Structure 1
Amino acid sequence: MADRNDPPRPGEERLGHDPAAQVDAGVTFIGRLRSGWARGTAPRNLTQARASGEGAARIELAAPYRRGLAGLEPGQCIWVLYWMDQSRRDLIVQAPRHGSGPRGTFALRSPARPNPVAMAAVRITDLDPEAGVIGIDAIDAFDGTPVIDIKPWLDGIDIPPGAAPAP
């Protein structure tokens, strides 16, 4: 991942402002992701994290949010929304290394975006509600990445029309 101070690559375009300087609403970090990943070692996506065999991770919730785990169970799939706090936020057109040319930020899953919100569909491997720890099968985020929300995966809602249900 590029450092937020790196100059844009050929074909990339910056916004005319820094989105971090504009606050329209507040976001509360409810916990942190724990993983073995850091800058330079993290996989590009969740598929690579799972394939590496080193992707096992956990979510550590802050104490006030632990009661929100009631009803979750090991084996269940959840959505984790997290804030890619080390990402640049000023690119509106990007030139991904793996792509065929520049594309708009909203056509990519890149962490570089005006609001660096990422999401991952993961499976709960173990759960300790009292400690606020959720073991998950994998994550592609750096250790310490802030978590902003957790939602259950619901087959009837989270599958686009015509797609196969989750295993």
Structure 2
Amino acid sequence: MTGSSVKCGPADIRDGEIRSQRDPAVETGDAHVVFIGRIRSPWRERSECPKNMRQAREKSAGDCSLEIDEAWRPGLAGLAAGDYLHILYWMHQARRDIVLQRPRHRETPAGVFSLRSPVRPNPVAMALVRITSVDPTAGIIGIDATDALDQTPLVDLKPYLPAIDHPSDR
């Protein structure tokens, strides 16, 4: 599940956008990422997906969960309903070769690293979710919302720790 299934060409870019000379979707990489499971959501098409977690929560689909593969289920020990969790996931249908983008909501192009667009060299996304339930035996974590497509591959889970993750005002 890499971005290589994305069918895009030079005509598929907006005015002001610039393609990279390299397309990571077709290169052999040096990272060996192992997907630990998948995100389950009501979003079957990219056009249905909320643009961000705020919109996802506003749509309050409620049918969102993380399915963890059996080998990784022991790693769920210590998670509990009510906890917040950072999820990292691979936006497997995202394009990977646009380095200067012109999002629909902006009048001028911006660099990929100044945007939260799914179009990026390594389409890794991160979201902060609230756990609504945990079934470690089945490997199912219920979550409050997601802006990811159904079956999006999971890369990692990390607990949200307010004392560490919340920036101070100092």
Give TM class, smaller chain. over 0.9
Higher mean alpha-carbon deviation, 91-100 vs 26-35, is at 91-100
Cross-structure match for 1:48? 55
Cross-structure match for 1:16? 21
The answer to whether the aligner puts 1:70 opposite 2:77 as a matched pair is yes
Distance in 2, matches of 1:12 and 1:137, equals: 35
Which ranges in structure 2 are unaligned for 5 or more consecutive residues?
1-5
State the Cα distance separating 1:4 from its structure 2 match: 5.0
Distance in 1, matches of 2:63 and 2:87, equals: 14
- Considering only aligned residues, what root-mean-square deviation do their CA atoms show, in Å? 1.4
Structure 1 counterpart of 2:33, which letter? V
The answer to whether the aligner puts 1:5 opposite 2:3 as a matched pair is no
| TM-score where L is the length of structure 2 | 0.91
State the Cα distance separating 1:99 from its structure 2 match: 1.7
Other structure's SS at 2:49 match: coil
Q: Which has the higher helix share?
A: 2
* Match 1:97 to one of 92, 104, 117: 104
The answer to whether the aligner puts 1:114 opposite 2:117 as a matched pair is no
Distance in 2, matches of 1:31 and 1:61, equals: 4
Other structure's SS at 1:162 match: coil
Cross-structure match for 2:148? 141
How many corresponding residue pairs? 161
State the Cα distance separating 1:129 from its structure 2 match: 0.3
Distance in 1, matches of 2:121 and 2:48, equals: 24
| TM-score where L is the length of structure 1 | 0.92
